[in-house]
Amino acid sequence: MTLAGRQHRAADQGGALSPAQGYEELYRAHHARIRRLCRLLLVDRYEAEDVAQEVFVQLLRRWNADDLPVASRAWLTCVAINACRRRRRSRWWQWWNAAAEPFSEDDLFGEGTPEEDAVRRQQRRRIVNAFHRLSGRQQEVFLLRQVEGWSTQEAADILGLATGTVKLHLFRAMRAFQKALGGVR
Amino acid sequence: MTRCLRRQALFVVSQGEGLPWQRSHLMRCHRCAERYRAMVGASELAARILREGPLPERVPQPRSVLRPWPVAVLAATGLALALVWRGVPGGWPPQATVMEEADEDAGLSLAHVSEFAFAADEFDAPSDADGTYLEAALDGAWPCEREDGTPDSECGDEF
């Protein structure tokens, strides 16, 4: 299915552009979400920012060419995921990813009692590490379905997969998280 | 049907699908309800952490930069270059001259070693025409031979 087809199929409530909606408005509405999505997929903050900028440059080109996507939210998500996928395929990214742990002590919670903090720290560490051990597809599916709240059909349209494949990836991702938290033996 | 649900069935129910009997079983069976809650709870917790929690940061690990395959490739390339370099006729350095000198040296030193090791004028080996010497040697003795290995002419009669 083409990108345009995917955009039309993806139900994008609140994401369709009105004639008065400006580029800045779109940027404000989606930039933080897209950057976070890229950050979760790529981990590196500068690289994520770079990819997010790349996505909005593409949007600007479409805007200037008066060829705006009908479903901007789905279109931006689709472009961002494809851009992240291209980055992850590159050799140097794989090398760098293999030589780094996607977790930092700087990112920890600092609220509550020390005991609560310790439990949350451990949970968070397990979840984040489990997420980064998932395959690329499983990460994408989990982010779209569970984190961003797209439906199975919408996620399938954005990723260009069959709905059954989306369900399979989601099942495996959920199982991995349950395992990481000690719920599956 | 009272059989407990498989993990896949629990997942299907969690996605708002599943058969009526599966959903009704889930309402009745405490064990399946517990498994269902664990599955959905882990997923929701993961989603919440990834959605709202601080974003992960990349921390480079102290890992050896030298990996086996680049080292092997570099070594093979170096070896190939060295072979090509030395094998080019008239190339630099003038390897033909060097090789000739080396061969001459090797020939001289071998001749010296041979001369020293197999000098013919030190002593005569005992003659063993009748096989006596060989026979005694096989028995473990060295007839007609002094401690320094020279023949002893006075013991010839014993054999």
pLDDT, one tens digit per residue, over A2-15 is 444 444 444 444 45
Residue B106 confidence (pLDDT): 53
Please tell me whether residues A27 and A109 are part of one structural domain.
no
* Residues whose CB falls within 8 Å of the CB of residue A44, separated by 6 or more in sequence, listed in order: A96, B58
Using CB atoms, pick whichever of B15, B49, B61 lies closest to residue A101: B61
Amino acid at B43: S
ipTM over 0.95: no
Distance CA B159, CA B155 (A): 8
Query: So what's the pLDDT on residue A179?
Result: 92
CATH of the domain at A158: 1.10.10.10
Per-residue pLDDT, B21:
92
Q: Which domain holds residue A53?
A: 1-100
Alpha-carbon distance A107 to nearest alpha carbon in chain B (angstroms): 6
Residue A6's pLDDT is: 46
Among the residues of A65-162, which ranges form H helices?
Answer: 72-89, 91-98, 114-133, 136-142, 152-159
Computed on alpha carbons and rounded to an integer, the radius of gyration of chain B in Å comes to: 45
Give the tens place of pLDDT for each residue, B10-39.
999 999 888 999 999 999 999 999 999 999
Amino acid code (one letter) for A100: A
Residue A49 pLDDT class (50, 70, 90 cuts): very high
pLDDT tens string A132-182: 899 999 999 999 999 999 999 999 999 999 999 999 999 999 999 999 988
How does the average pLDDT of chain A come out, rounded?
A: 80
**B57 in contact with A, Cβ within 8 Å:** yes
Chain A residues within 8 Å of chain B (Cβ atoms): 36, 39-40, 43-45, 96, 99-104, 106-109, 123-124, 127-128, 130-132, 142-143, 146-147, 152, 167, 170-171, 173-175, 177-178, 180-181, 183
For residue A84, the domain's CATH number is 1.10.1740
- Residue with the bigger pLDDT between A149 and B120: it is A149
- On whether both A77 and A1 belong to a single domain, the answer is yes
pLDDT greater than 50 at residue B50: yes
Distance CA A149, CA A151 (A): 6
Q: Which two tokens stand for residue A152?
A: 């199975």
User: Using an 8 Å Cβ cutoff, are A34 and A80 in contact?
Assistant: yes
Q: How many domains does chain A contain in total? A: 2
